A and B are shown apart, each in its own frame.
Chain A
Amino acid sequence: MSSRHAPRAGGPAPREPVVARSGVAPETSRFHLGGPGCWTMGPLSRETWAQRLGAFRASPSAFMAGPEGEDLGRDLLNELRSEKLSEQTKVSLLALSLEYPAQLWPDAAAAEAAATSLLDTLVLLPPRPSALRRPLLLAATTALAAGDALGPTSGASRRLLPLLLGLASGRDLGRGFGPASEQRPLQATACECLRELESCKPGLLGGCLGLLRSLLGQEGPVQPLSLLLALALRNTLVIQARARAGLQGLLVAGDMPAAGGPWNWTLAEEADAHLQPQAPSWPAAEEEECGLAVLEPSPEEARELRAAVAQLLDTSYLLTPVAQAQLLWLLGWALRGLRGQPPVLFKPQLVRLLGTAQLTLLHAVLALKAAFGEALFTAQDEALLLRRLTLAAQHPALPLPAHLFYLHCLLNFPENCPLGPTGEETAPLLLGPRLCRGLLPSLLHDPSALLAHLHLLCLLCAEDEEKEEKGQDWCPRHYLGELLAGLRQRAALHGGPRALATLCFQASYLVVHCLATQPTVLTPLTHGLARLYRARPALAPHFVDLLDRVGPELGEPLRTALRQEVVSRPGRDEALRWHLQILSKVADGKAPSATLGFLRAAAAHCTDWGLQQALLQVCRALLRAGVGEGLADLLQALARQLEDPDGRDRARLYYILLAHLAGPKLGVALGPSLAAPALTSSLVAENQGFAAVLMVQEAPAPMRLSVGPRRAAGPVPVLQLQVEVLEPLYSVELRFRVEGQLYAPLGAVHVPCLLPGRPCRPLHLPLQPRRPAPAQLAVRALFATPAGLTCHAHLPPLPVNFADLFLPFPRAPDGDKQGFFEELWDSCLPEGAESRLWCPLGPQGLEALVARHLDPFVVVAQPPTSYHVAIRLPPASRLLLRLEAAQGDGVPVALRTDDWAVLPLAGDYLRGLSAAV
């Protein structure tokens, strides 16, 4: 047993690092390495770790959910300092942390602590050679970058960045960093770490461009420095271009940040949260998408930039081919948006690159082609590139995946003057039939190779359409026909693998997709497919799939051909279930008597439930297609003769539907084709289908309802409702329910028809309040859709405001408005209530406020200073207001009502008036 479960001496592990550190190498460390006082558990043996790592790798999620999951990250960090484990085991622990930091340290704080611990382990290594330094640097970098901990506030970042930059620049970091022999590999590793950090946080190294240039010019390792400089340069240009700033001497500033001094995060923060695509803007993507505004450097800056790029390109032959390719992508992208930076710098590299067979290099050349077009590739260059690409796509010395990728590149070739529609695969203009000869499909090809080459052939046939047999010595269409015939012959092979059948149908689909307008191709294809069905009806699922996916150009004639193929057979074929599957797909209103004849003959042989269901499925298709005559007889016969009661029930159901529903309703009722019934009762399955049609079903709200302007008149308050619909609705019924029984039940509102975009007059909803109080109305809508379904929907509740209930008093006798008002005023007391309050006025003043909100209720007015207002509140309350002696920002209001419950509502209303515009 391992000692993992030994009691912990030091209690739960502290989450925070034990010692706060700064600088590269701490002079002191209070970390305990093993021993009885340590909070780690006893060290695990090599075997235990191997087992544990194995279990973790088998399924990280399962392991982390298990009992050991929680401790793994912490144990791993501790064990790195154990003196009992071999370096090799520790390397494998670090390898795990390189792959699964998110599982080991799931949040930024844990990642920061882990990076700190890894850095501590690094600086505490004894000065002899060690295999751990490199993976420790990689692990600390990974923990910070993947754990979202990289940033100016992270202590680990503030330690790691200067350390990496110091290593990368070959500075002597003291004996702590191992013997001299390790410096060179560590220098390269530090560059890689910096590059990864720069990739995750663009602009991080914007302040180090000058330094990197000078390192590259000295004895630094060429490849890591070149790639680092190219990436930092590209990112800086992008960020500065977006900020519409220049390079500001970044290319020449040579000093490195002072040790322990602050890191310059300015550019990284400017770019924050905007990782930029590295891909050069392919012709399809527009400049804005890449965020690369055109940058115009000063002549001085342009010269420095050119020098930097030339410096990188001149030594690029020292890089491995894949690294050269990266360099070209980065520099191509960097220079693309720059005015006054002719891409001619790349020219000397091109001839060398075009000769190689290296996939990444040729791909990078294509990227340059896409980025610079004619500015870098003359028409002659373009032709040469195309020839080399064509050659690479068929060169026998290259592997198939490379051929297929090159073929893809050919069909997406970034031409100088593209003619065709963008975004679609086309054969480039210069790629004539002669060039394509070696690229045509053959039955000996693998499936994906055959489809790729077939696509090219189809494109050539499409082009060839215009030339139409002008005595040419080659006829691609003829070859295409023979190829398809060969594919069908293989697909027809009984017992052959499904892949062959799939390939045949994929090829047919591709041909139809490209050559839908060419009857000379489609007619033989249709006949060939019908013959294929005759030879191997078991391919029915493929036929159904093909019919679902092709347009009418092939779909229509193929349906007819297949229907004829099936119905011309006697009904007792062993392939009956396939015939029925096909027929349920292709049966339509045409030639129903032959179809019905076949079904009648087949019925006797439908002995099991599955076959009966398949048969009824065809009947269903005929029902939907509106076939009536003859079908009723068949259904009746089936309802009597089928052995399975479920089948009989379903036949009877169809018969009843046919007898009772009119054609269009029947079509809707049966809805889109029922999938093969998965339940043992087809009736239940069918019912699920009709439930949709014959019952009311819930739908999302298809309309928007709102309360329009008030209409204070008449005996009761009436809400004016405004309706907008998103789709045509018929027989609309709106039902309202008042929450809390504040009003009498509300009647429904009916509208015969609502159409989108056509204004509808407002709907009137009379309210009968039982108490003068605001309320919420729950609203439901019932309606019919154009498809004939009846639906109901819940609409958002409608608010009824206090003011919506206001009604004016019947007109006062002409002469004595004042008297009328005073009478009402006096009548409120003693049962009622009285109050005084302050009604704030907005900038518009009292007159405007009254005109806007209270006009219908004013009994006596002495504009602009005094208004007497009388409001009737159904069912039997009154509210009287005196607004007098308005001041600059408000008006005192005297208020009386005969219903004390109204008082707080009135107060709220008045106080809210100035805000309500």
Chain B
Amino acid sequence: MAQRAVWLISHEPGTPLCGTVRFSRRYPTVEKRARVFNGTSYVPIPEDGPFLKALLFELRLLDDDKDFVESRDSCSHINKTSVYGLLVGGGELWPVVAFLKNNMIYACVPLVEQTLSPRPPLISISGISQSFELLFGIQDFLHLGQKNDTELNTKLNQLPDLLLQACPFGTLLDANLQNSLDSINFASVTHPQKQPAWKVGTYKGKPQVSISITEKVKSMQYDKQDIADTWQVVGAVTCKCDLEGIMPNVTISLSLPTNGSPLQDILVHPCVTSLDSAILTSSSIDAMDDSAFSGPYKFPFTPPLESFNLCYYTSQVPVPPILGFYQMKEEEIQVKITVNLKLHESVKNNFEFCEARIPFYNRGPITHVEYKVSFGQLEVFREKSLLIWIIGQKFPKSMEISLSGTVTFGAKSHEKQPFDEICIGGTAYLKLHFKILDYTLTGCYADQHSVQVFASGKPKINTHRKLISSDYYIWNSKAPAPITYGSLLLVRCHN
């Protein structure tokens, strides 16, 4: 399992090439093996220029999709994964693992240790998952705490040295590039026996453990008879353990209050040494009942030096934190809107911020707005065809607020106003953005006393919690809205 080459390409729509290769690295010893293994189906790695062109074409990132091009638009040219075949130099380079994230295209080509014709299934290619890990690792490194282009450039400049550490011959040794950076800096430390490869040094200083639980809640609300609203909580538990010793053992328990919602679909960090089978099998796939395992959820582990995600989970809370409806009716060049939002009484009414964004797609700029809000203020972004209803830190005592108004639009000009393939005609949504500190919707918390540390010194334990919204949509109930299978199913089950 090895990589033949890796690229980072910035996507620059509107420029002549639509992109620039920001980084590339080839592995000639792997390439040599590819030539032997692939035999007559071998296609060599192209130079950066042709690769850039072929990849952008395949990913539809060139600005030229006016005409039907069979090699890209044919109905049988079906791609169901992030793995592509690129036409370069008369052959088809496959498999090319590639994805676009934050305007950066991450791409690499794993070695396939057999002939490529017929194409073997991806599952049988050991290098494929390694490709993903390498690209995810680079992505994490580039975007961890990165704020601007200068920082991005600095990090891009560090990449050659980092890959020389983490992937010297094309076989990935560590996907955590920050770790490799540290290992360059730690190089002079003499390593004791049995040092884990994922921990390049040891911590010296005051012992402390930080645990932070972040829950994101997403929702799709329709306010319709035949479509059920859906919502889901996704939690992430992040830890930073500053503890002395090579392999300190820590156990963290997550607990729920008596009426808390059980955690499901738990995925843990590889440093977790063992897992209760109840944790392993607790899943949102099964119908919920009272017998669901409700903790405490124990995670024994040996922490790495850096901050890491101890586990992820999902949960199905009984009600969404904010329930609302959105009605929008088109009348010639203007639309009438009515919005109503209600905070559930069980939810902590103390937001860091809370706002509702109401975009109008595929229309001209806003020329005029008449409105009435029962609470908060409305901001109008005319050119962006966007309204933002700023609700602020608290809902009023009634827990219920409303907005109604009429919005008038000017003539549509294609450059400035956003196009959206979903919001056609009356199909429209508003999206809620909010954040509540020191609160989780499931009730999940890490008790300071439940943290066990087997290391010298008694550590200070810090815990944090927060709830933030993510993909919290309320769809216009007066027009069709995109639904998921779950919405149909729930209604049918409830009926």
Contact = CB atoms under 8 A, between A and B. Distances in A.
Interface of A: 57-61, 91-92, 95, 98-102, 129, 134-135, 138, 141-142, 145-146, 148, 180-182, 184-185, 189, 192-193, 195-196, 199-200, 219, 221-223, 275-279, 282, 284-285, 315, 317-326, 329, 351-352, 354-364, 366-367, 370, 384, 387-388, 390-392, 395-402, 404-405, 407-409, 412, 414, 425, 434-435, 437-438, 440-444, 447-448, 451-452, 455, 473-474, 479, 486, 489-490, 493, 496-502, 505-506, 508-510, 541-542, 545-546, 549
B173 interface: yes
11 contacts: A135-B164, A200-B33, A285-B114, A321-B133, A384-B281, A404-B81, A405-B81, A440-B484, A442-B482, A506-B77, A506-B78
A101 B28 contact: yes
B194 interface: yes
A452 B81 contact: yes
Given A184-B191, A444-B484, A473-B492, A545 B75 contact: yes
Interface residues of B, number: 111
Contacts of B160: 92, 95
Contact of B113 (A100, A278, A321, A404): A278
B176 to A, nearest CB: 7
Given A95-B160, A326-B1, A397-B234, A451 B132 contact: no
B128 A405 contact: yes
Contacts of A407: 80-81
B488 A479 contact: yes
Interface stretch (B65-73, B321-329, B344-352): B65-73
Contact of A490 (B168, B174, B424): B424
A138 B190 CA distance: 22
Contacts of A134: 164
B126 A437 contact: no
A848 to B, nearest CB: 50
B290 to A, nearest CB: 19
Contacts of A323: 173-174, 197
Interface stretch (B142-150, B262-270, B374-382, B437-445): B262-270
B99 interface: yes
Interface in B338-383: none
B274 A315 contact: no
B267 A59 contact: no
Nearest to B266: A355
A384 B74 CA distance: 39
Contact of B31 (A98, A146, A404, A414): A146
Contacts, number: 339
B29 A451 contact: no
Contacts of B281: 384, 387
A434 B285 contact: yes
Interface of B: 1-2, 24-29, 31-33, 36-37, 47-49, 60, 65-66, 68, 70, 72-82, 97, 99, 101, 113-114, 120-126, 128-130, 132-133, 135-136, 160-161, 164, 168-169, 171-176, 179, 187-191, 193-198, 216, 218, 232, 234, 236, 265-270, 272-275, 277, 279-281, 283-285, 312, 314, 419, 421-422, 424, 482-486, 488-489, 492-493
B195 to A, nearest CB: 7
Nearest to A442: B484
Contact of A61 (B47, B65, B489): B47
A282 B234 CA distance: 35
B408 to A, nearest CB: 23
A425 B179 CA distance: 39
B269 A356 contact: yes
Contacts of B26: 99-100
Given A146-B28, A222-B197, A367 B78 contact: no
B103 to A, nearest CB: 16
A325 B130 contact: yes
B281 to A, nearest CB: 7
B81 A474 contact: no
Contacts of B169: 138, 141-142, 192-193, 195-196
B482 A444 contact: yes
Contacts of A199: 2, 29, 33, 171
Given A200-B32, A397-B312, A185 B25 contact: no
A546 B75 contact: yes
Given A146-B28, A322-B174, A325-B130, 4 more contacts: A182-B187, A404-B82, A440-B484, A546-B75
Contacts of B129: 325, 359-360, 362-364, 405
Contacts of B173: 192, 223, 320, 322-323
The CB with the most chain B CB atoms within 10 A, among A59, A199, A322, A398, is that of: A322
Given A278-B126, A322-B130, A323-B197, A498 B285 contact: no
B36 A399 contact: no
Contact of A324 (B48, B270, B279): B270
Contacts of A322: 130, 133, 172-175
Given A323-B174, A474-B492, A499 B60 contact: yes
Given A199-B2, A354-B280, A363-B129, A545 B74 contact: yes
B113 A317 contact: no
A354 B270 CA distance: 10
Contacts of A321: 133, 175, 198, 270
Nearest to A179: B188
B234 A390 contact: no
B280 A384 contact: yes
Contacts of A474: 489, 492
B36 to A, nearest CB: 5
B304 to A, nearest CB: 10
Given A185-B187, A395-B314, A408-B123, A545 B73 contact: yes
Contacts of A284: 120-121, 124
A60 B49 CA distance: 11
Nearest to A405: B81
B74 A352 contact: no
A277 B28 contact: no
A57 B48 CA distance: 8
Contact of A438 (B193, B198, B285, B482): B285
Contacts of A398: 267
A526 to B, nearest CB: 15
B284 A438 contact: yes
B68 A282 contact: no
Nearest to A315: B194
Contacts of B60: 499
A413 to B, nearest CB: 8
B265 A391 contact: yes
B28 A356 contact: no
B210 to A, nearest CB: 20
A135 B184 CA distance: 13
B32 A359 contact: no
Contacts of A58: 48-49
Given A284-B121, A317-B273, A351-B275, A443 B422 contact: yes
A860 B190 CA distance: 105
A502 B421 CA distance: 14
B75 A395 contact: no
Nearest to A490: B421
Nearest to A444: B482
Contact of B483 (A142, A354, A442): A442
Contacts of A222: 194-197
Contact of A473 (B101, B123, B493): B493
A507 B272 CA distance: 41
B312 A395 contact: yes
A508 B75 contact: yes
Contacts of B1: 278, 325-326, 329
Which 7 residue pairs of A and B lie closest in terms of their CB atoms, listed nearest first? A397-B312, A357-B267, A223-B197, A541-B68, A363-B129, A452-B80, A509-B75
Contacts of B419: 496-497
A715 B174 CA distance: 89
Contacts of A193: 169
Contacts of B80: 404, 407-408, 448, 451-452, 455
